[in-house]
Amino acid sequence: MHNIQYCLLFLFLTGISQLGSTQDKNFSQWDVAPLSVNPAFTGTNPQGRGILLHRVQFPQSAGDFVTTYFSYDHNFSNSRSNMGIWLMNDIAGAANFRSTNVNVSYAHLVPLSRQWRLRLGLEIGYGTKNLNYVDLVFGDQLTNTGATGAPTQEALDNENLNYLDISTGFLIYSEVYWFGFSAAHLNQPNQNFLDQDYRLPIRYGVQGGVRLPLEGIQDNERTIGAAFSYRAQGSLHNLDVGMLGNYKNVSLGLWYRNLPIQESAEGALALQTGLQFNGLRFSYAFEYAFGSLTGLGGAHELGITYLFRYPKRVSRKRPLRYVAFPLFSEYGDERY
């Protein structure tokens, strides 16, 4: 019994995290799931923004690895306040190890100068995890001719875990450059399965990038951008770097993900494409994994982003000059 417990604990708390290259799920299109990266991204579009992102990872593996992300955030420009909510559901492995998170984020805008802005973000979330033993096959269910079909004699029930999660971060940016820092799981929530004490390590992140209009273009119809995202969580360290170009309503980019800055890291190459119509944007990314994960089918991501436009309220205060955030997947940066 104890051997089974230790095997399951290792599989779901260590093995799955290694397959994902980090203990937290991260997307090929992390720029399309910004609130999951840094709460200071809340409200970086002019008004309202809704995002749906669906990821299928390792489709040729024995179990399913499926992640769905949804978010909505709003920029209250008159008060310099920004509010958001995001949800993520993750299913991993043959035992359907399920994680569900609901997070509420807030970011406050601080003008540093005419060209530079600072965003301070805070996030509070609630998470649940569930481990379903019913779909696993144990030794007493096997014979020389195969599975017996009978239930196991092991005394195992579904494991459920609920926890509170706190994160923070900041962004400094102009209309060309941006830099951010984030710290997730500040309270290191307990991930106690099978009576084994385990606390989720703090995930530190550093992000940054640049977006430039091509020569002679002033209307942001043709831009090229580069960005990076570094993550450190426990003993794992990963770095994603890439570039993306926009031509009117079409975008194309290339990412080198999980750059092997440590010996145990697995690398991947991701191709990202996008197509937008007014406030609606569709994006797709295919990720090809290197190393030991090559034969598992990589990953596919499909994203849908919609920018809401609401009537603008007239404020008696002198309006603050709007500085568009220069992340390459951000658009709709009209002045107000």
pLDDT in tens, 76-109: 877 889 999 999 999 876 556 788 999 999 999 9
Q: Say if 317 falls within a structural domain.
A: no
Q: Say if 240 falls within a structural domain.
A: yes
Residue from 15, 13, 24 nearest 182 by CA: 24
3-state secondary structure of 135: helix
| Total domains present in the chain | 1
Q: Say if 318 falls within a structural domain.
A: no
CA dist., res. 65 & res. 61, Å (int): 9
Residue 193 pLDDT: 64
Q: Say if 253 falls within a structural domain.
A: yes
Amino acid at 63: G
Q: For residue 333, count CB atoms less than 10 angstroms from its CB and return exposed for 0-12, middle for 13-18, buried for 19 or more.
A: middle
Q: How confident is the model at residue 320 (pLDDT cuts 50, 70, 90)?
A: confident
3-state secondary structure of 31: helix
CA dist., res. 98 & res. 169, Å (int): 27
Q: Say if 105 falls within a structural domain.
A: yes
**Is the whole model's pTM more than 0.85, yes or no?**
no
User: Which has more confidence, 207 or 279?
Assistant: 207
Amino acid at 252: L
User: Which has more confidence, 14 or 246?
Assistant: 246
Q: Say if 324 falls within a structural domain.
A: no
User: Which has more confidence, 5 or 299?
Assistant: 299
CA dist., res. 221 & res. 223, Å (int): 6
CA dist., res. 191 & res. 28, Å (int): 26
Q: Say if 190 falls within a structural domain.
A: yes
49: tokens are: 């923004």
For β-strands 159-173 and 146-147, DSSP reports them as unpaired
Q: Say if 93 falls within a structural domain.
A: yes
At 101-150, the pLDDT tens digits run 999 999 999 999 999 999 999 999 999 988 766 555 555 555 555 555 55
Residue 144, domain CATH: 2.40.160.60
CA dist., res. 123 & res. 167, Å (int): 5
Residue 74 pLDDT: 94
Angle at 268 between CA 266 and CA 273, to 5 degrees: 160
User: Which has more confidence, 11 or 116?
Assistant: 116
Range of the domain at 44: 2-308
Average pLDDT, the chain: 80
Residue 211, CA distances (Å) to 65, 90, 175 in order: 33, 32, 8
- Are 326 and 44 in contact, with CB atoms under 8 Å apart? no
- Are 331 and 226 in contact, with CB atoms under 8 Å apart? no
What would the mean pLDDT of 276-281 be, rounded to a whole number?
A: 87
Percent of the chain past pLDDT 70, that is, above it, reads 69
Residue 120, CA distances (Å) to 32, 82, 131 in order: 20, 10, 36
